[in-house]
Amino acid sequence: MIEYVGVLMFLAAGALLAAAATTVSGLVAPHNPTREKLMPYECGENPVGSPWGVQFNIRFYVFVLVFLIFDVEAVMLVPWAVVLKELGTPALIAGFIFIGMLVLGLADVWRKGDLEWVREEERAALKTAPKNAKAA
Amino acid sequence: MERLDTISSLQYFVPEIVLVFTLMAVLVCDLVSKNRAPRERRLLIVIPSLIGLVVALSYSLQGSEAVSAGLFHNMVAFDGFGQMLRVIFIVTSIFVLLFTLHSNELRLVHHGELLVLLLTVTVALIWMANSINLLMIYLALETVSVASYVMVGYLKTDRLSNEASLKYILFGAVSTGTMLFGLSLLYGLTGSLDLFEIRSALSSQEVVASSGPALMVILVLVLAGIGFKMATVPFHFWCPDVYTGAPTPVTAFLSVGPKVAGFAVLIRFFYGGLASPSEDGASWAMVGSVDWQTMLMGISVITMTLGNVGALLQTNMKRLLAYSSIAHAGYIMMGAVVLSGEGIQAMLAYMIIYLFMNLGAFLVVIVVHNDVGSFDIKDYAGIWRRAPLLTIGMGILLFSLMGIPPFAGFLAKWYIFSVVIDAGLGWFAVIGGLNSAIGAFYYLKILKTMFIDGSDTPEPSTPLALQPLYAGLLLVLIVPNIIGLLLWGYLDRVTEFSQKLLDAM
């Protein structure tokens, strides 16, 4: 166990430093809160509503998932490409099967219309009522 | 044991490959047929899935008894045990796929993703049951979990379904996270992810002397993940809520597929990593400093007792069956603790029979819900007058679940109890028997409601609507329960070769 004493000391020193930094800045820094300073930060915009109940469009989530397709592709294919010559034909085939599966994911999202911010059904609805165009 | 590289492993991996390509083909069919009429579109996705499953089944039925090999550099095992389980999973999926066709709950939603998810889970279940590497176990378990979360919440507009899905996710995340922590500790202790290498590391006196409490902690943590899949106490809390909220075909699937796979992982993990086989491979001796046999026995006793007692108070049919499936997990676990090949065989036989009786019971729930629109047991009153044959069928299934002779459920229980008694654990079998007696009460309560309640009302009875497909399926599911005695010789032969676990001889 004795070899782990270093870890413990490191932890203690870290905690001490962090505590010291916040305490000292709390004691020394000028304390002058105004309404603007206490507002949640939102890129210069005036925040609307409480920061706890943020209205967040769920469709961003779909985009994250689509991003994941390309992300995984890049992460897996770079090392694959590096050693491809040594591994030979089976690796080439396996790589293309892998790409095929990922493309299938993209095709699914595309065909289901999730890549478009304004979907087909909504677009049809917008044409009939052009005044609501901003709602999307 | 052979240790195969990637390319030569593929010949033993045909059913899985077929299933993977099937699910991709189904996805493509689903996309291509987007603008067709719903009925036509459904056929276009159901038929390829069925064909794929049947082809995979026919490949996995051609078992080769002699071969046992570690595929993909000892990631996945290929042995009699795994081949048997593969058949169980594919058969379950075929039944559940057919269950979804006329279910009223799923009538208004598109089935495309559901089928793709079902096929995904099937492949992942096969991987899960055959993994012999810690990473592979975790990966397969997560694939099963993630896909089943979506399946549980498939009814997007149904609040109960959403709630069930969320509970399942939260519980699953905690359980598998806990398990992952345990696995990482195990890796730290033994320096390997391969179960057989872990065993040899744990066999050394040096490790045993220094690892007592650590190994105990590891086992408890890992059991959290496996127990979540098996739905054993104390990781059963999700079970009643999820079973109630999920669409009934999905519930039927969850009550068989992941549960069986959980037990397979239990066997692989404990018999592979924490026990060493005798010369003839018919029994095992524990390795390491922890008496995990007693631990599992405790879990088994608590699980079946709590499951049965919990079921007594239920008024919702799906909730009741959830508790009943918890109790059955306890019985199945009895076979896993005796450390013998016979125990594994009894467990497999039990799981096969459990598949038929439990899927049958859930199919009756679907049929009744299609007509009555309710899962409450009190709404089952008077079914006898409306559908006598269905009621008799349900009676057979429930007697089988109870374990009343001459139905197959009795044989399964008898087999498992006798193995336990042979192992010198008479008291354990007595507890199992007492639990069956408690269980009989709530199963009989359902039957009483169906047969007697509401039979004195004067209003004329209309026959219950029963789709021909469901009638046929019910017949297929009920018949093995009746002729279990005749099938026993066959079952014995089939399961005998499957008790052979892959081993690093």
**Confidence (pLDDT) at B304:** 93
Clarify whether residues B265 and B401 are in a common domain: no
Number of domains in chain B: 2
**Confidence (pLDDT) at B66:** 65
**Confidence (pLDDT) at A59:** 79
Look up residue B126 and give its two tokens: 């096969």
Q: Does residue B192 sit within a domain?
A: yes
In B27-46, the residues whose Cβ lies within 8 Å of chain A are 27-28, 31, 34
Q: Which residues of B touch A108 (CB under 8 A)?
A: 27, 31
Q: Does residue B505 sit within a domain?
A: no
Of A90, A101, A112, the CB nearest to B24: A101
**Confidence (pLDDT) at A136:** 41
Q: Give the chain B residue whose CA is nearest to the CA of A97.
A: B21
CB-CB under 8 Å, B28 with A104: yes
**Confidence (pLDDT) at A133:** 46
Q: What whole-number distance in Å separates Cα of residue B492 and Cα of residue B490? A: 5
Mutate to test the interface with A, among B31, B33, B41, B162 (most CBs of A within 10 A): B31
**Confidence (pLDDT) at B119:** 96
Residue B130 has pLDDT above 60, yes or no: yes
Peptide bond into B406 cis (omega under 30): yes
Average pLDDT in the B455-464 region?
Answer: 72
Residue A54 has pLDDT above 70, yes or no: no
Q: Which residues are within 8 A (CB) of B342 and not within 5 positions of it... i.e. 6 or more apart?
A: B282, B419, B422, B499
Q: Does residue B503 sit within a domain?
A: no
Distances (CA, A) of B355 to B62, B107, B135, B359, B369: 21, 25, 28, 6, 21
Clarify whether residues B490 and B372 are in a common domain: yes
Residue B23 has pLDDT above 50, yes or no: yes
Clarify whether residues B25 and B128 are in a common domain: yes
How close does chain A come to B366, measured CA to CA in Å? 30
Q: What whole-number distance in Å separates Cα of residue A66 and Cα of residue A60? A: 10
Percent of chain B clearing pLDDT 70 (strictly above): 96
Lowest-confidence pick of A84-88, B354-358, B477-481, B491-495: B491-495
Q: Label residue B458 by pLDDT band (50, 70, 90).
A: low
Q: Which residues of B touch A112 (CB under 8 A)?
A: 31, 34
Q: Does residue B168 sit within a domain?
A: yes
Q: Label residue A40 by pLDDT band (50, 70, 90).
A: low
Residue of B269 and B7 predicted with greater confidence: B269
Clarify whether residues B58 and B170 are in a common domain: yes
How close does chain A come to B267, measured CA to CA in Å? 32
Percent of chain A clearing pLDDT 90 (strictly above): 23
Tell me which of B270, B290, B310 is where a domain ends: B290
CB-CB under 8 Å, B6 with A108: no
User: How does pLDDT run across B31-85, given as a tens digit for each residue?
Assistant: 998 888 888 888 899 999 999 999 999 998 886 666 788 888 889 988 888 888 9
Q: Which residues of A touch B28 (CB under 8 A)?
A: 104, 107
> Quick check: B245 and B318 in contact, CB under 8 A?
no
User: What SS3 state is found at A33?
Assistant: coil
pTM assigned to the model: 0.88
End-to-end C-alpha distance for chain A, whole angstroms: 62
User: How does pLDDT run across B381-420, given as a tens digit for each residue?
Assistant: 888 888 889 999 999 999 999 988 889 999 999 999 999 9
CB-CB under 8 Å, B24 with A104: yes
**Confidence (pLDDT) at A134:** 46
Of A100, A101, A108, the CB nearest to B31: A108
CB-CB under 8 Å, A101 with B27: no
**Confidence (pLDDT) at B502:** 64
Clarify whether residues B448 and B435 are in a common domain: yes
Show the domain range for B490: 292-496
Q: A49-60 burial, b if ≥16 CB within 10 A, otherwise e?
A: eeeeeeeeeeee
Q: Which residues of A touch B7 (CB under 8 A)?
A: 90
Q: Does residue B225 sit within a domain?
A: yes
CB-CB under 8 Å, B24 with A90: no
Q: Give the chain B residue whose CA is nearest to the CA of A102.
A: B24
Q: Which residues of B touch A111 (CB under 8 A)?
A: 31, 34
Tell me which of B275, B290, B305 is where a domain ends: B290
Q: Does residue B77 sit within a domain?
A: yes
User: How does pLDDT run across B309-340, given as a tens digit for each residue?
Assistant: 999 999 999 999 999 999 999 999 999 888 88
Clarify whether residues B230 and B310 are in a common domain: no
**Confidence (pLDDT) at A130:** 56
Residue B75 carries which DSSP code? T
User: How does pLDDT run across B164-195, given as a tens digit for each residue?
Assistant: 999 999 999 999 999 999 999 999 888 899 99
Clarify whether residues B236 and B335 are in a common domain: no
Distances (CA, A) of B312 to A18, B241, B440: 56, 16, 10
Residue of B209 and B164 predicted with greater confidence: B164
**Confidence (pLDDT) at B477:** 92
Tell me which of B290, B310, B337 is where a domain ends: B290
Mean pLDDT in chain B? Answer: 89
Clarify whether residues B240 and B354 are in a common domain: no
Sign of CA dihedral B329, B331, B335, B336: positive
User: How does pLDDT run across B74-85, given as a tens digit for each residue?
Assistant: 899 888 888 889
> Quick check: B314 and B320 in contact, CB under 8 A?
yes
CB-CB under 8 Å, B7 with A104: no
Residue A135 has pLDDT above 50, yes or no: no
**Confidence (pLDDT) at A123:** 77
Residue A45 has pLDDT above 80, yes or no: no
Amino acid letter, residue B249? P
How close does chain B come to A10, measured CA to CA in Å? 22
Q: Does residue B254 sit within a domain?
A: yes
Clarify whether residues B204 and B306 are in a common domain: no
Clarify whether residues B83 and B96 are in a common domain: yes
User: How does pLDDT run across B131-158, given as a tens digit for each residue?
Assistant: 999 999 999 999 999 999 999 999 988 9
ipTM score above 0.85: no
Clarify whether residues B299 and B275 are in a common domain: no
Clarify whether residues B246 and B367 are in a common domain: no
Sign of CA dihedral B441, B446, B447, B449: positive
Tell me how far apart the 2 most distant CA atoms of chain A are, in Å: 76
Mean pLDDT in chain A? Answer: 82
Q: Does residue B138 sit within a domain?
A: yes
How close does chain B come to A134, measured CA to CA in Å? 27
Residue B460 has pLDDT above 70, yes or no: no
Residue of A45 and B383 predicted with greater confidence: B383
